[in-house]
């Protein structure tokens, strides 16, 4: 079963792509927080990579996963909606 493309329902994407005419929206989450990464994947963002020991939090360096959504992927997802 294919998951629904949820990006059109995210106000940030609507504003960023339709009002500001952005080319790309990106976000980051700590690698040890899979729930945040799951949300980004669910709304259509694609995993772009991990920056190792990129962020210092409470005297520990944390790995950060980056996700992004390109305008063309957003628009293609809108076209595919019923």
Say yes or no to pLDDT of 78 above 80.
Answer: no
Say yes or no to pLDDT of 1 above 50.
Answer: no
- Write out the CATH class of domain 7-79: alpha beta
Decide which of 10 and 70 is more confident.
70
Edge-to-edge strand order for the sheet containing 46-57?
A: 24-30, 60-70, 46-57
Using one digit for the tens of pLDDT, what is the confidence trace for 53-64? 988 889 999 999
If you average pLDDT over every residue of the chain, what do you get? 85
């Amino acid at each position: 079963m294919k998951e629904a493309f949820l990006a059109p329902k995210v106000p940030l994407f609507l504003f960023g792509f339709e009002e500001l005419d952005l080319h790309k929206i990106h976000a980051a989450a700590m690698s040890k927080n899979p729930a945040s990464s799951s949300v980004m994947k669910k709304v259509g963002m694609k995993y772009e990579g991990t920056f190792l020991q990129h962020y210092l939090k409470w005297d520990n360096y944390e790995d950060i996963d980056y996700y992004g959504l390109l305008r063309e992927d957003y628009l293609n997802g809108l076209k595919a909606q019923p």
